[in-house]
Structures are given as C-alpha cells and as structure tokens.
Amino acid sequence: MATFLYRMGRTAFRRRWLVVLLWVALLGGLGAGAVSAPAAEDNGTSFMPGIEAQKAFDLIGQRFPGRDSNGASARIVFVAPKGEKVTEGGNKVAIDRLVTEAGDVSKVEQAVSPFAAGAVSKDATTAYAQITYKVKSDDLTDADKAALEKAVDQARDSGLTVEVGGNVLGSQPAAGGSAEAIGVALAAVVLLITFGSLAAAGLPLLTALVGVAVSMAAIMAVGSLFGLTATTGTLATMLGLAVGIDYALFVVSRYREERAGGKQPAEAAGIAVGTAGSAVVFAGLTVVIALAGLSVVGVPMLTKMGLCAAGAVVVGVLVALTLVPALLGMWPNATLSRKARRNKARQASSENGGSRWARFVLRRPVPVLLACVAGLGVVAVPAAHLELGMPGDEAKPASTTERRAYDDLAEGFGPGFNGPLTVVVDAKGADDAKGAAAEIAAKIEDTKGVVSVSAPRFNQAGDTALFSAVPSTGPNDEATKDLVQHIRAERAAVEKETGATFEVTGTTAMNIDVAQALQDALVPYLVVIVGLALVLLLLVFRSILVPVKAAFGFLLSVLASLGAVVAVFQWGWGASLIGVEQTGPIMSLMPIFLVGIVFGLAMDYEVFLVARMREAYTHGESAPNAVVSGFRHSARVVVAAAVIMIAVFSGFIGAGESMIKTIGFGLATAVLFDAFVVRMALVPAVLALVGDKAWWLPGWLARVLPRVDVEGTGLRAGEPEEVRESEAVRV
C-alpha cells in the first residue's frame, strides 16, 4: 500500500499539469451535467416504511386519492384584546376581512373562516383560520407570501393579536450559508497558525473546496435519476469540506516534515502520499463505513444522505492523493515555512509540545486513564435519560410567529390541540361501515387522555373513514406517547367487536413511531459499523488491542456527547448561554447522525495518530518511545484538525433553529471529547500500560491477514529509488 501510494504521489508531482487538468475537466464536465440535468422531484417516497404511522398515511393516500397533505398551509391564530372576544363586532369583521383577502389569491385552494368552521375557543378569546394552497410551500413566490403578510398586518392594526403557523411564512431549517463561511474562515486561521505559511494554509482549503464542488456537481447531475435533492447533499457538503481539509492537512504536513529532513521535493511528495496518504485511505474507509452503514437504519432519505456523503469522502481521499501532490509540484517551496526555505536540511526538533505531553502521560498512565474514564462517564450519565422526538414550532425562538401561534393555540384550545391524532378506519370487512367507524370513534373518545374526537369522514367508496382525536397533553409529552400505545393496544378487541380495524397516524404519531424505530435501530447500526471498523483497524495496525481500544474510546466520547446534549437541550442546563429558549425531546435523527459522523471522525484521529506510532515501532523504536514519536510528529496536526472540526460545527450553534443548534452542539462536543480526551490522553495512557503487548497479534492471525504496509516499511530512508520500485512490484 505505502509503496503503491508513494509511486502515485511521485507521478502526480511530476505530471502535475496533467493531474490538475484532469480534475478541472472532471469538475467542468460534472458542472455542465448538473446545470443541464432536470431537478429531482419529490416522488412522495415514504419517510420510514414499516412503521404504523407510515402505513396508515399510505393507506389514506390510496383510499382518499384526491387528498394532498403536501400542499402549503397557514394556520392564522387570532387572540382578542384583553377583556374582549373574537366574536364581537369589530374583531369579527377584521377576521372575516383577513380570511377574504388571504383567500383572494390564485394559488389558494381554500380559506375557511373560524366562525364557519367552529374554530373558536370556549371562552371566545382565541380563534384560528385555516388557509390551504394548491402548491407546495417551495412553489410560493414572494408576492404570494406578501399578500398574506399584508392581510395579517391589517388585522393587527385593528387591535387583534395575529400569528401565523404552518409552512407558508416559516423558514426551513438549513445548515449552511453564514455558518459554513464562518467555519471556513476559522479553519483558515487555524491552518495559518499551524503552518505559518499562507500557501500551506490555503492549499488544504482550496483542494477541499474542489472536492466539495466535484461531489455536489455529481449529486446534482444524477439527482433526477436517483431522487437526490439539495437536502440530500447537505451532509455531503459538511463532511466533504471537513474531511477534505483534514486529509490535505496531513499530506501537506508530512511533505513539510520530509522537506525539513532534507528530502528533495519529488521524493518528499512521494513519501508524504505513501505514509500520510496510507492513513488517509484507511481513515476515509472508516468514514465511508460509518456513512454507508446508515442504510441499515431503514430511512430512505437517510440512506441517500449517507451514500452521498460517503461519495464525497471518497472524492476527498482521491483529491488528497492526487491533486494535493500535484499542487505541491507547482509550488514546491511555497508551503514551507520561512525557516525551512532558508535551511532546507534542518531536522525537526526532537522535542515539542506533543512529545512533552506524551512523556507526561507515560509517567502517569493510571491517573490519566482513570481521570478520562471517570470524567467522560460522569458527563455521559444524562444520556441514560435520552428522550427522542421531533421538535416542532414549540422549539422555535419566541421571536418567530410560528412559536407564538403555537403558544396561543395551546392556551386557547389546550396543549394537545397542536398535535392531534389522525385515525384511519379500514371498514372493508365490516357489515356496517358507518356504524363501525362511529363505534371506534366513540371508544377512542372515551379513552382517558382524549379531549375530543371529530365526526368520521368517509371516502367515495364508503369503506374507509378518517377522524381526528385531540389529546389532553402536548405532542412531545410522554403521556401522549402512552396514549397512542394504549389506543393501539385496544385495537384487537375493537376489531373483534366491529369487524373493522384502524390505524393511528398524523404528525404526532409519526414522530413517536419514528423516534422508537430509530432508537431500536441504533444498536444494530453500532454493531455493524463498529464491527466493520474493527476488522479494518485490525488489518491496518495488525494488533488486537489497538482496534478494541479505539472502539471503546469512541463509545465513551459519543456517550459523553449525548449526555451533554441531553443536559443542555432536554434538561436546560446552560441552555440560555447558547440561545436555547425551549427544552424538550432530542431530535429523533440526532443519535444516528452523531454516532455515524463522530465514529468516522474519531477513527480518522485514531488512524492518523496511531499510524505514526506504528511506523516508529516497526522501524525499531521501543513501545514507549514509539508513543512519544507518534505524538511528536502527529499531535500538532491532529489538534489542528480537531479545532477545525469544532470550529465548523460550532458555527451551527448560532443558528435560530433548535434542530441545527442541537446538531452543531452535539458534533462539536463529540469531537472535543474524542480528540482531546480520548485520543490525546486515554490512548497514550493505555499504550503506556500495555507496552509491547499493544502490537501483539496471534501468529495464525498474522499469517491470515494481508500486509498493507500503512507504516511505510517499504520506504526505508536511504534506499535508492530503483529498490523501492522493485518492492512496489512485489506489493
């Protein structure tokens, strides 16, 4: 492996113009394809096939073919001034005028007055009007939204409090824009401090951007064929940028190290790709395993996001192995520090901050190990109380009209009004379909925890009915989850009595089912990715202990980060410091995202750091000295890579959406724990305690495992090039 990559690096260095032109041609071709390709359409694919709420939703689509729940909608909430009622003269006139003006738009399908629909609270202080559109919210123009806003402002001028829920005026959560720009800027500062050279700092950023551009162009070019939307590529953009910077960072760092040791530019580039590039390949493979493993969760959208992001990581690896040495060939001295350019044969110092820290840990391995495990264990305790859900308008800042509309409805109609359950009755097997539906509705209305039930509405065939049930508790309340489970548990008895069956769906039930399914899928997902990564690390390091230690450290860091997320976003500890206004259940997808992304990044740091230790050990250094040598050469760039990751992810904590805040905070804390506690402290402490046994491998397993030579034993210093070339043939 190392020898093959060494030759690749030298070839890319020598044929730099050809390599650069090939990447430019690839980007241009994919860009042209992306521009000409039709946009991917939302084909209505099930979010999570197999769960009851999704089955019920699909049944509604089959039995009520004209019913479209994907159109844009706005729920306008009116609150009368203190001491007044919405049914009084002036208030009623203002509400009717708003509904009329809002409905006088070509794209509006229906505008229902609260007085016609009976949507007035018992005390008549609150009412709401439902506006439904013929198109999706993305298809609404600024003029369409402005017409609604104008009508709302006129109603407010009359003295009414008017807020708008729904998806018409609300902004969609997005992880991009200024957050990514801030992350890139912070990454540039960290790279500049690390390398002390504008060229060395700029090269990883440039190549990472090229890799992301190629990946996104490819996704857009084939988007209509595979159903890939812009949302699908969000994870690919974020991870492609992060790992692209990291992988180029390690190759450039090794190149500078070899040049400082007296190597010629072409030779230094070859060795950098042969050694650091080997670590890049296997680090990239661990990330690909984690992302591709998202397919086992069973969410089609998540599978597409994972595979697209895995493709972006593969592109990042190829860029680091080919484009980076090619650009180094164009400016062989520009990436060097001023001192190195003045004295090219200067040897690296035998002591630096990394080696001093390693010696500190080697002298005190037991206290350091116990401190790491105990500290992360304490932080991980809240993770045992993790509650999953799908935060909605209640989690948005109070400054948004959607959040205020949510609060007004909860106060006027009860907390469960914001999360009604939709019940679909399949009465095909019943003798009296209408009687069966009415009996089921009556039984559900009599259930403790249900406030009200609407009258059943039948389809044209008369064999399927729909009605809604309003719980007494909020959508994310644990009591609502218990209510849904209780209603479903009574289904068998009801079906036996009526001959009809029913299923529960709606946004609330869907979120409950998705949360449970994702929670159930977390353990199988962990088993798959950790198992495959253990095999890969076993192959890389030819050791039993190192892969096990890596997996154990990852579990500690990810549990600690989940604990921190629960403490802040669920319990509210320090929530105000980062602008979290409403605590509640953690987004259902969060643990899966956290485990997948952090696992890949954690294995990145493990491979980069331990590969240098393995290299030193195979070249004759003792086990303790190998640890010191690994830290001397790699600690600085691993720290820089981690700081870049933390900076990129922390940028999302400032987002207005609670969901984006949670993702940014979780990823940032996970990288912080894994890089600085696990990899920088726990790893050397464990290696210090086990000594040479860290690199032990049973003889029979050593004979079975192929040798991939990640540590570069085929690149022994001082050998003539023709000897290395002959070894490449054997490898």
pLDDT for 162-184, tens place per residue? Answer: 999 887 876 555 544 555 667 66
Per-residue pLDDT for 340 more than 70?
A: no
For residue 407, CA distances in Å to 414, 512, 703 come to: 10, 21, 67
| Average pLDDT of the residues in 660-689 | 90
Between CA 372 and CA 379 the distance in angstroms is 11
pLDDT digit string (tens) for 9-25?
Answer: 999 999 999 999 999 99
Whether 388 has a pLDDT exceeding 90, the answer reads: no
**pLDDT for 707:** 77
Report the pLDDT value the prediction gives residue 46, as an integer from 0 to 100. Answer: 57
Whether residue 655 has pLDDT greater than 80? no
Q: Global pTM?
A: 0.78
Q: What DSSP line would sit under 96-110, residue for residue?
A: HHHHHHHH-STTEEE
Residue 212 CA, chain-centre distance (Å), reads 16
Q: How far apart are the first and last CA of the chain?
A: 7
Cβ–Cβ under 8 Å, residues 433 and 465? yes
Q: Compare 419 and 37 and report the one with higher pLDDT.
A: 419
**Amino acid at the residue 36:** S
**Per-residue pLDDT tens digits for 207-239:** 999 999 999 899 888 877 776 766 677 778 878
Distance (Å, whole) CA 309 – CA 244:
12
Separation of alpha carbons 164 and 158, rounded Å? 16
Average confidence score pLDDT of the chain: 84
In this predicted structure, the answer to whether residue 382 has a pLDDT above a threshold of 90 is: yes
pLDDT tens readout for residues 453-474: 988 999 888 889 999 999 999 8
Which conformational region is residue 588 in: left (phi greater than 0), alpha (psi within -120 to 50 degrees), or beta?
Answer: alpha
Residues recorded for the chain: 731
361-364 own/partner pairs: CB under 8 Å, 24+ apart: 361/681, 361/684, 361/685, 361/688, 362/624, 362/627, 362/628, 362/684, 362/688
Q: What is the pLDDT of residue 325?
A: 94
pLDDT of residue 722: 39
Max intra-chain CA distance, the chain: 97
Least confident stretch, 281-295, 308-322, 408-422, 480-494: 281-295
CA distance 289 to 600: 8
pLDDT in tens, 517-535: 888 888 888 888 888 878 8
Question: Is the per-residue pLDDT at 493 higher than 80?
Answer: yes
For the segment 84-109, what is each residue's pLDDT rounded down to a tens digit?
Answer: 999 988 899 999 999 998 888 878 88
pLDDT category at 320 given cuts 50, 70, 90 is very high
Strand partners, 501: 426
Average pLDDT, stretch 179-202?
Answer: 75
